[in-house]
Amino acid sequence: MDQDRLRRLIEALENGEADIDEVLEKLRMLPYEDIGYAKLDHHRSIRRGFPEAIFCTGKTTEQVLEIADRILSNQGEVVLTKVGSELASELKARFQEKVTHASEANMAFLGNCSQKVDGKVAVVTAGTSDISVAEEAVALCDRYGVEVSRIYDVGVAGVHRLIPYVPAINASDVVIVIAGMEGALPSIVSGFTDKPVIAVPTSIGYGANFRGLAALLGMLCTCSPGIAVVNIDNGFGAAVFALSILRIAHSKKNG
Amino acid sequence: MDQDRLRRLIEALENGEADIDEVLEKLRMLPYEDIGYAKLDHHRSIRRGFPEAIFCTGKTTEQVLEIADRILSNQGEVVLTKVGSELASELKARFQEKVTHASEANMAFLGNCSQKVDGKVAVVTAGTSDISVAEEAVALCDRYGVEVSRIYDVGVAGVHRLIPYVPAINASDVVIVIAGMEGALPSIVSGFTDKPVIAVPTSIGYGANFRGLAALLGMLCTCSPGIAVVNIDNGFGAAVFALSILRIAHSKKNG
Amino acid sequence: MDQDRLRRLIEALENGEADIDEVLEKLRMLPYEDIGYAKLDHHRSIRRGFPEAIFCTGKTTEQVLEIADRILSNQGEVVLTKVGSELASELKARFQEKVTHASEANMAFLGNCSQKVDGKVAVVTAGTSDISVAEEAVALCDRYGVEVSRIYDVGVAGVHRLIPYVPAINASDVVIVIAGMEGALPSIVSGFTDKPVIAVPTSIGYGANFRGLAALLGMLCTCSPGIAVVNIDNGFGAAVFALSILRIAHSKKNG
Amino acid sequence: MDQDRLRRLIEALENGEADIDEVLEKLRMLPYEDIGYAKLDHHRSIRRGFPEAIFCTGKTTEQVLEIADRILSNQGEVVLTKVGSELASELKARFQEKVTHASEANMAFLGNCSQKVDGKVAVVTAGTSDISVAEEAVALCDRYGVEVSRIYDVGVAGVHRLIPYVPAINASDVVIVIAGMEGALPSIVSGFTDKPVIAVPTSIGYGANFRGLAALLGMLCTCSPGIAVVNIDNGFGAAVFALSILRIAHSKKNG
Amino acid sequence: MDQDRLRRLIEALENGEADIDEVLEKLRMLPYEDIGYAKLDHHRSIRRGFPEAIFCTGKTTEQVLEIADRILSNQGEVVLTKVGSELASELKARFQEKVTHASEANMAFLGNCSQKVDGKVAVVTAGTSDISVAEEAVALCDRYGVEVSRIYDVGVAGVHRLIPYVPAINASDVVIVIAGMEGALPSIVSGFTDKPVIAVPTSIGYGANFRGLAALLGMLCTCSPGIAVVNIDNGFGAAVFALSILRIAHSKKNG
Amino acid sequence: MDQDRLRRLIEALENGEADIDEVLEKLRMLPYEDIGYAKLDHHRSIRRGFPEAIFCTGKTTEQVLEIADRILSNQGEVVLTKVGSELASELKARFQEKVTHASEANMAFLGNCSQKVDGKVAVVTAGTSDISVAEEAVALCDRYGVEVSRIYDVGVAGVHRLIPYVPAINASDVVIVIAGMEGALPSIVSGFTDKPVIAVPTSIGYGANFRGLAALLGMLCTCSPGIAVVNIDNGFGAAVFALSILRIAHSKKNG
Amino acid sequence: MDQDRLRRLIEALENGEADIDEVLEKLRMLPYEDIGYAKLDHHRSIRRGFPEAIFCTGKTTEQVLEIADRILSNQGEVVLTKVGSELASELKARFQEKVTHASEANMAFLGNCSQKVDGKVAVVTAGTSDISVAEEAVALCDRYGVEVSRIYDVGVAGVHRLIPYVPAINASDVVIVIAGMEGALPSIVSGFTDKPVIAVPTSIGYGANFRGLAALLGMLCTCSPGIAVVNIDNGFGAAVFALSILRIAHSKKNG
Amino acid sequence: MDQDRLRRLIEALENGEADIDEVLEKLRMLPYEDIGYAKLDHHRSIRRGFPEAIFCTGKTTEQVLEIADRILSNQGEVVLTKVGSELASELKARFQEKVTHASEANMAFLGNCSQKVDGKVAVVTAGTSDISVAEEAVALCDRYGVEVSRIYDVGVAGVHRLIPYVPAINASDVVIVIAGMEGALPSIVSGFTDKPVIAVPTSIGYGANFRGLAALLGMLCTCSPGIAVVNIDNGFGAAVFALSILRIAHSKKNG
């Protein structure tokens, strides 16, 4: 529909029905919906490949519900992160069967996923305590039809625990490695594979960990060059990055 | 050759000519060459997809030359980073026409690249001062036959300078964005593309930049989820990561 | 009245009715009212252009009420920041119709604003979560009769969301830009305008944001030279600074 | 000239001589000149109110000379910061009488200043060691015809040294206060004036100063709300910000 | 009594009733009372000039009561800091009229003060919110008979508020200055007096204050050399230091 | 039992009943038990000398109980740290008389300790508030039959309190020194003994202590070379390290 | 002389020869001499008890010589810190026999010390490397006629090295303790004395010392309440503080 | 000799030839030699088990030579660290054949080692650049007759490089692991051994390594409990700690 409106506008310009200022004004207005405290970017899925996600921390339930409603109407699907159980109930009350709640990941999805992505992702954690961050990555990959291998609790102090999973890691296209404390697991995983390794530091730990700082610095200073890092506890961002990688492969294959 | 030795060893085990401890002992010795101060990992290129790189800072010229010689003999090619002009001369004196010197990148390569990687990478910098880090990424991509678009000096204060290059960015498979100071360019580039964006903070700046800390934190805290970050000034690591992405696509296409 | 007392004092000195020490002693006493735990600066509005503000965090309700009462009696108006809902009720109970409560901004005003300031201020936020800080700036500008454009949720990842608002920004005299996370929005806004940009980092974000540090360092390291920064979450300070700019313009115009 | 080309382009579009893609392509090219390692933004002075400045640190002499040459040809003037004496000589050899060298400020200007700004700025330093940063601000203000009061070495430990200068400060439109060590001077100056105070921390100091961090944090945490802060040692940025304030006043007066 | 036991011990040694090891063993035992989780240093008041103080944070009520009881029995007086209202009640229940509770200071004293110190101390705060730290200093000085001038809320932004109190400051022997936020007040006070200035940073503030770090660094980097600093919020330590100064003067006078 | 299975596997390989891949596959599986969210390392006690410990923070009660159950079944004993009173009750309900609860240490043990270690450890604290960390070390040493001397509250300000305990310290094999605040006690203890000193910084303190950072940095920067440091509040790690030292001595003696 | 001019001014006011504005104007001018880049505070020695000191780092030789010359003419004496050997030569060439150069302290004095202070100061260092900072304190104390005990190299790891000097420390009025690395010496010294202890952290050390940060934090977090701290490497500030203490005692004694 | 003097002193006390004060005075004097800027602790080797070491950084050549001479005369041997080549030449000129220079370790030894220690230490490094720190540990262990296995360049990215050396590590009594960058190697080594692992972070690395901070925090936050950490680049301290461990074993065996 938007595509149509866009085409008509450009024709109006070319055949003189509109001057350039009118057109620019309209072009500006097309992709937004302004609800006062939020500007919804309904063309985002075209431009970025993903629908707009709502980071729920720091927003009121009313704001979340209204923003979600508008995005759902326009884009057909919504991704919500940091969804507590109370907010999840409100979402279910409002959007009913349209809601999928990934409770371990504190995420929710509205509507059907418009897009499927081919590929395999291994999600590896150092400890049991890193699992909630890992599940954020898993939930998003699942949603997009990506095949996920969960490889949990294979941390550094027992590196031999990792070795049985090296084949599973190498059978994936992308590896997400999640670790708190000293954050060394991504370096080690990277030594066993030629796949891109996305490292997620977590705030798990105490003392000199300084809320994830130790893990973050360790991952950035890795001596293994095939690693890139996202923010502390940002399992969602790691999954979006992994999906963006898989789409390249997908388009190449089909292109 | 190694492949042959490996096969023979396993046969020796299976037909009883060697017991398991002898075999394990030999397996351990196969992939290494120990020159005292360095353990060369000649199987690395099989396992990791790249030959071992020599990070020259903090090594004597003698160490670099000997390590390079051994890797060259066994693996047929070597990558050297942080190669100053003096070391470059020594490398040329020793290895002559086998040396390729990428002087803007402070890198050198020995031997022929054994492997080519399909794909396109856009290397984007915020300022002119970030170029030396960018060239590190460019030199490695070039070496592997990847097509590179250099898009330099399109920094944040004039975001409209970036817009003409959005088509070139979207025509790439992977985008490497390099920025010092506030490090905001990766977020902005990411807003215009669905490609994976690898962000490289640089130590360019002064005062509250604290040697790249401001750019690093900024990139990690990006509000755009499709970004991953490597260490400050680590153009080489960004390129290795980009190549690991392109190889997935390549293998998918051909698999 | 103070003016009169001041004049009489100086005459007393000049005609020998008082010696210099007596006069100095009296001059010292004039502008203050000492209520033990607070020294009220009733001449402040003459000297600084604004009445004294009460930063309510860390003061007891009794202290706030008494300080407010004294300032109101002497200066005719009071500004209070960080006013929670409970304190707001106490203020209403005590000062009744003299109270204006700006609840979204956690501010209160007592009495009538003695002064109006000409001009337009654009208040721009990167996200919805930055709005409470923005409203602090808006409430103070409103109070002084300044025309405010609220431009909310136009953050960096979708810089094109900002473009439709460039005309509104350029129609303002001063721009206040409020952002958490990587804090890049002020640099970008500054690229589109020749107006002074006052940047307010917020503590919105998580992980490597370190309670606003990432946004703060990013804003200070901006590559755009027309930006100055106030403390994290300090919307009030940004507004006072903006008003001080507008008064120059005003006085120039009328001077 | 650019204005003419712009008008002709739009007419071409409107009367059908060019289609929208051709026009957009040309529009993109208009304001830039791409010299490979730099994108020169020749429309910047229209959009931002100042010509593009060259931050010379980290650029080769050749790069600086070529960038300067291009900006000079297109915009008629250039501002260069962090110009050491050697680079200054090269600039004089190349641009001869077109160069103005502000040696105390480590700045240079090419061509004539196209624009004058009305107003008065007081530049205040805490100590003698802060003067080089102050002169950066002074040189830029001078260039634009702004009247500058230099008030140097009036630091905090002798606050009474400041008092005689309060009238000069209040006779200015904007105050730039520059201080290292504990960075307390801006708070104190702000207590005596209703003018906007732009605070510049310097890296002067030792020990717990941590290269300007103490002064920077101190200025941000000021208890006086009429202050905004720029980066450590950034006298240039403070002056650009001050000029942006003065232009509002100027346009109001004449508007 | 202890003095007697000490004398007898030494005599025993000198007249051969005890050998050196027995004596050393007894000497070791004299000044302590070991109650398992605490070693009470009953000679401390002789050696250090003050009775042992109990820092109550992180101790159970039982531990505090028992430690207090033992010290009271042996030394005749006890000082307790960080005494919440609940603990204060327990102390009153147990020690009844022997308890003096300084509630604004969160301190308690048991027994009579064995020692009086001559002198005057001025306790100066920047804001009303710093008063609880100030009262800690006041309570201890009071206890020792020192004359205290409370000079509260004379902070930096209105330095003229301080000026009327300069005579009171100069009439003191020692000045304790307590400030949060940018921590500039000690520098300013120091400019007006030749008395030793003990600076106490407080954790009052927000954002770039980082829980007192800004005030602490500012006070350490003061350009005024007559200042020394104690830990954040440590009003008690400042008072002990002030008392140690006053005792020198006292002993000199009477020596 | 595992020993038997291992022997049989190797025989199967050597007599041709299994090929190398089958054996490797089985070898991988032997030492683990995979319960989904945790990989239990039942060979750990062989390889590392201690059974696997469960760090209970961040795990659900259900996870702790199941992990504990599995380890208990396979390894015969379990160590749990950071066990709150509620979790302790659940453990007792489930494992009954098999549970030993060291409540001051927030630890629990299941099963019988399979191993005794000869030796003496002195556990020294600076203050009463450091005792909970000390008890963590004491509980583990006790469990392994090590003789422990508790030397509590001998902190730096009264170094003479330490002197009576020097003989007890020198009668130990290893010294664990636990201190918050400035963390100086390990340096001092180390000056009196030739035993290895394991230093444990604690988060006890306030202000410039920054949650244990001051103590940690102080211990690392000790001028006494015979000290090594573990993480803040990590009494458990210090005890494991001490036990690993004692076992060397033990094996030497008996070897 | 100044005293006379001051008296005459006030008489002029009181007998009507001058009005208040003329007098204030003259009063402002009296204590200053403005040499452009510096404001010399010739009344400082009256107000603060010490002549103005010149911190030579960051000033040109010309600036130092001129400032010194003016202060010498007006105040009769000058103190200079951070005087390198080259600058010392220039001072001798210019001021000849009026210069006293304390080369180990990197200090110089011009003219005769106008003031003597009674008392004894012990200057204690942890190591030999801290001596240059200590000598700064010694030189200033010497200058003022204070008796100094140098107690060097008695650091923490051998606390028994300190014990023989405890009597010397207790025979002083004030103790200055200088230490790098972990900075624990002030706490220990403080445990043996009831004198005020001024702690000076130094930047001596490496690694986790972070240029004096470890020593600084350690000293601030001391568990001994009778300690106050000055900036890293600031031996001069410690001496000024010590002198301000001695003067109280002195005035009390003579008062 | 000292032992004799000590015995005679105590006899003098017991038979009344000396009173206790005389004896204490003499006892104090015995173990020291005071050469003004240094207090030499000639009893240290008795008390601490090692002769006093001279940390040469920050001492003049003259100071080093004199201190070394005195220690050599009294204790028969000296250890010097951070000995540059120039200082080494001076030591050889002065002490001739008594000097042993360990040039890779930047250490020197004077005299014969009075003491031998039984045992084996494995010194493991992550990279070639960590070798200079490792050699410091090796040189000291060598000196004391300890058997050292050098296992260099087995860093994390190729953890399989480590595996062949696991037997050598397990054949040692103590393991010293040295690593820069992310500092993960100690955790991994610890997973393969039950020996105490002493971790040494190095300042090798760049960017987010922040001069060894990343490695330091990583090692402290290790998830493996059998690790303790010394200061950044402190190979010497690690060796002293290892020797103190070996002596326990030695004394147990022989005790």
Residues in E closer than 8 angstroms to D228, CB to CB, are none
Per-residue pLDDT at H87:
96
Asked if the model's pLDDT at residue G76 lies above 90, the reply is no
Closest CA in chain C for residue A212? C207
Per-residue pLDDT at F70:
87
CA distances (Å), origin F239, targets C30, D83, F230, F246, H21: 67, 59, 10, 10, 43
CA distance D74 to D44: 11
Question: Average pLDDT of chain C?
Answer: 83
Q: How many other C-beta atoms can be found within 10 angstroms of the C-beta atom of residue C228?
A: 32
Per-residue pLDDT at F231:
96
Q: Do B228 and A228 touch (CB under 8 A)?
A: yes
pLDDT tens per residue, range C56-115: 988 889 999 999 998 898 888 999 999 999 999 999 999 999 999 999 999 999 998 878
Q: Do G182 and F126 touch (CB under 8 A)?
A: no
Residues 6 or more apart whose CB falls under 8 angstroms from that of F136 comprise: F81, F105, F106, F107, F235, F236, F239
- In which band, very low, low, confident or very high, does the pLDDT at H31 lie, cut at 50, 70 and 90? very low
Pairing relation of β-strands D197-201 and D227-229? parallel
Per-residue pLDDT at H237:
95
Residues 6 or more apart whose CB falls under 8 angstroms from that of A10 comprise: A23, D20
Chain C residues within 8 angstroms (CB to CB) of chain A: 128-129, 131, 152-154, 158, 160-161, 163-164, 204, 206-209
**Cross-sheet strand order for the sheet of H99-102:** H53-55, H77-81, H107-111, H99-102
CA distance A235 to A124: 11
CA distance A42 to A67: 11
Chain C residues within 8 angstroms (CB to CB) of chain E: 28-29, 31-32, 36-39, 41, 44, 55, 57-59, 63, 67, 201, 203, 212, 216, 231-234
Per-residue pLDDT at C2:
40
Domain final residue, candidates C68, C90, C111: C111
Choose the closest CB to C158 out of A41, A58, A216: A41
Chain A residues within 8 angstroms (CB to CB) of chain B: 47-50, 53, 118-119, 173-174, 190-196, 198, 216, 220-222, 225-232, 234, 236-238, 240-241, 244-250, 252-253
Do C75 and C175 lie in one domain? The reply is no
pLDDT tens per residue, range H175-189: 999 999 889 999 989
Residues in F closer than 8 angstroms to H177, CB to CB, are none
Q: How many other C-beta atoms can be found within 10 angstroms of the C-beta atom of residue C17?
A: 12
pLDDT tens per residue, range B94-125: 999 999 999 999 999 999 887 889 999 999 99
Do D140 and D158 lie in one domain? The reply is yes
The most confident of the ranges D235-249, F238-252, G150-164 is D235-249
- Dihedral of CA atoms A68, C138, C156, D246 in degrees, nearest 10, equals 160
Choose the closest CB to A252 out of B194, B220, B252: B252
Q: Do C164 and A41 touch (CB under 8 A)?
A: no
- Kindly report the nearest CA distance between residue H140 and chain B, in angstroms: 19
Do G8 and G64 lie in one domain? The reply is yes
Chain H residues within 8 angstroms (CB to CB) of chain G: 28-29, 31-32, 36-39, 41, 44, 55, 57-59, 63, 67, 201, 203, 212, 216, 231-234
Average of per-residue pLDDT across A150-159: 78
Q: Do C220 and B210 touch (CB under 8 A)?
A: no
- Please state the domain count of chain C: 2
Q: Do chains H and E touch (3 or more CB pairs under 8 A)?
A: yes
Residues in G closer than 8 angstroms to C10, CB to CB, are 20
Q: Which residue has the higher pLDDT, C186 or A166?
A: C186
The residues that bridge with E41 in the sheet, in sequence order, are E32
Do E67 and E133 lie in one domain? The reply is no
Do C95 and C24 lie in one domain? The reply is yes
Asked if the model's pLDDT at residue H125 lies above 50, the reply is yes
Do H74 and H130 lie in one domain? The reply is no
Q: Do E153 and C37 touch (CB under 8 A)?
A: yes
Q: Do F196 and H249 touch (CB under 8 A)?
A: no
Contact G237, E186 (CB under 8 A): no
Do B93 and B137 lie in one domain? The reply is no
Pairing relation of β-strands D197-201 and B120-125? unpaired
Chain E residues within 8 angstroms (CB to CB) of chain D: 126-127, 155-160, 181-184, 187-188, 190-192, 205, 207-210, 213-224
Asked if the model's pLDDT at residue A22 lies above 90, the reply is no
Residues 6 or more apart whose CB falls under 8 angstroms from that of F46 comprise: none
Q: Which of A189-198, D175-184, G166-175, H42-51 comes out lowest in average pLDDT?
A: H42-51
Domain final residue, candidates D91, D111, D131: D111
Per-residue pLDDT at G159:
64
Domain CATH code at residue E223: 3.40.50.1970
Choose the closest CB to H182 out of A181, A184, A210: A184
Q: How many other C-beta atoms can be found within 10 angstroms of the C-beta atom of residue D36?
A: 12
Residue G28's domain comprises: 3-111
Identify which of G74, G54, G76, G52 has the alpha carbon closest to the alpha carbon of residue G65.
Answer: G54
Chain G residues within 8 angstroms (CB to CB) of chain H: 128-129, 131, 152-154, 158, 160-161, 163-164, 204, 206-209
Residues in A closer than 8 angstroms to H218, CB to CB, are 182-184, 214-215, 217-218
Average of per-residue pLDDT across A167-181: 93
Question: Average pLDDT of chain B?
Answer: 83
Residues in F closer than 8 angstroms to G220, CB to CB, are 182, 207-208, 214
pLDDT tens per residue, range G111-127: 988 788 999 999 999 98
Average of per-residue pLDDT across D185-213: 90
The most confident of the ranges B32-36, E58-62, F226-230, H152-156 is F226-230
Q: Do H14 and E14 touch (CB under 8 A)?
A: no
Do C68 and C156 lie in one domain? The reply is no
Q: Do E19 and H14 touch (CB under 8 A)?
A: yes
Q: Do F220 and H227 touch (CB under 8 A)?
A: no
Do B141 and B51 lie in one domain? The reply is no
- Kindly report the nearest CA distance between residue H241 and chain A, in angstroms: 22
Do C203 and C163 lie in one domain? The reply is yes
Per-residue pLDDT at H158:
62
Do A126 and A90 lie in one domain? The reply is no
Residues in H closer than 8 angstroms to G153, CB to CB, are 37-39
E198 φ/ψ angles, rounded to the nearest 5 degrees: -100, 120
Residues in D closer than 8 angstroms to C246, CB to CB, are 248
Per-residue pLDDT at F160:
65
Count how many Cα atoms sit within 13 Å of the Cα of residue D65 in the half-sphere of its side chain: 14
- In which band, very low, low, confident or very high, does the pLDDT at E1 lie, cut at 50, 70 and 90? very low
The most confident of the ranges A206-210, A248-252, B19-23, B132-136 is B132-136
The per-residue b/e assignment along E32-51, b for 16 or more CB within 10 angstroms, e otherwise, is bbbbebbbbbbbbbebbbbb
pLDDT tens per residue, range D4-28: 454 565 566 556 666 555 544 444 4
Do E126 and E102 lie in one domain? The reply is no
pLDDT tens per residue, range B163-173: 778 888 989 99
Choose the closest CB to D19 out of A14, A16, A19: A14
Question: Above pLDDT 90, what percent of chain H?
Answer: 49
Domain final residue, candidates E85, E111, E137: E111
pTM value > 0.90 = no
Question: Average pLDDT of chain F?
Answer: 83
Q: Do A184 and H217 touch (CB under 8 A)?
A: no
Mutate to test the interface with B, among C187, C193, C206, C227 (most CBs of B within 10 A): C187
CA distances (Å), origin H77, targets C63, E91, H72, H95, H108: 70, 59, 5, 12, 11
Question: Above pLDDT 90, what percent of chain E?
Answer: 49
